Structures are given as structure tokens and as C-alpha cells.
């Protein structure tokens, strides 16, 4: 398997504070995102990713997020195999110290 690029929660928080335009995808289940997600993240459950490929652009880079970094890592591998540019957020929301917002 090819190596997946990763980003730490601190690095991601800094990029967001700097106003970088990032494409965040939270792959957790509904009850998990109900506890809060990173503002601006799009919620697509892990199991719905294969049927949601039309929502992604192969020219853009996506940062995948889950609770601990495992599911998002699996999604990142899958998406990379499909030809997408991906980054996995290490440590997931368990390590996220930044702002969270309720799912819209």
C-alpha cells in the first residue's frame, strides 16, 4: 500500500487559523458527529464514501477525519486507490483541541 500523507491536529488547527481553504471530510457515524465536528467539515459516513465519489474532485486534496485516525486512514487509502489526493488527520477527534461545531 502506498503511504498516506498525514497531518497532526495541531498542524490542521494552525492551517485553519491561518485561513487556509481546506476540504475536510468527517467519516464518523451520526451519533459521533452529534458531539461536534470541526467547523467547515463535510460529514460523509465511512460506509457511504464509495457511493459518494461524485462529491469529490480529483484535482483537490481532502483531509479525512474520524474519532481516532483509523477509519479515516482506511478511507484515505481507498480514496487514494481511486485516484484522489488525500491526507489523514492523525489521532482523530480524540486529539482535536480546536473549536467544534454542531452538524448542520
**Active-site residue set:** 66
Structure-derived torsion over alpha carbons of residues 76, 1, 51, 40, reported in degrees to the nearest 10:
10
Q: Which of 9, 18, 104, 3 is nearest to 63 (CA)?
A: 9
Contact yes or no for 91/68 (Cβ under 8 A): yes
Amino acid at each position: 500500500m502506498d503511504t498516506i500523507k498525514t497531518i497532526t491536529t495541531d498542524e490542521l488547527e494552525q492551517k485553519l487559523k491561518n485561513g487556509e481553504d481546506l476540504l475536510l471530510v468527517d467519516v464518523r457515524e451520526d451519533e459521533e458527529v452529534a458531539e461536534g465536528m470541526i467547523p467547515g467539515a463535510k460529514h460523509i459516513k465511512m460506509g457511504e464514501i464509495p457511493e459518494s465519489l461524485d462529491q469529490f474532485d480529483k484535482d483537490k486534496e481532502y483531509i479525512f477525519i474520524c474519532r481516532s485516525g483509523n477509519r479515516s486512514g482506511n478511507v484515505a487509502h481507498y480514496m487514494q486507490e481511486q485516484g484522489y489526493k488525500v491526507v489523514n488527520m492523525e489521532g482523530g477527534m480524540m486529539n482535536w483541541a480546536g473549536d467544534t461545531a454542531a452538524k448542520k
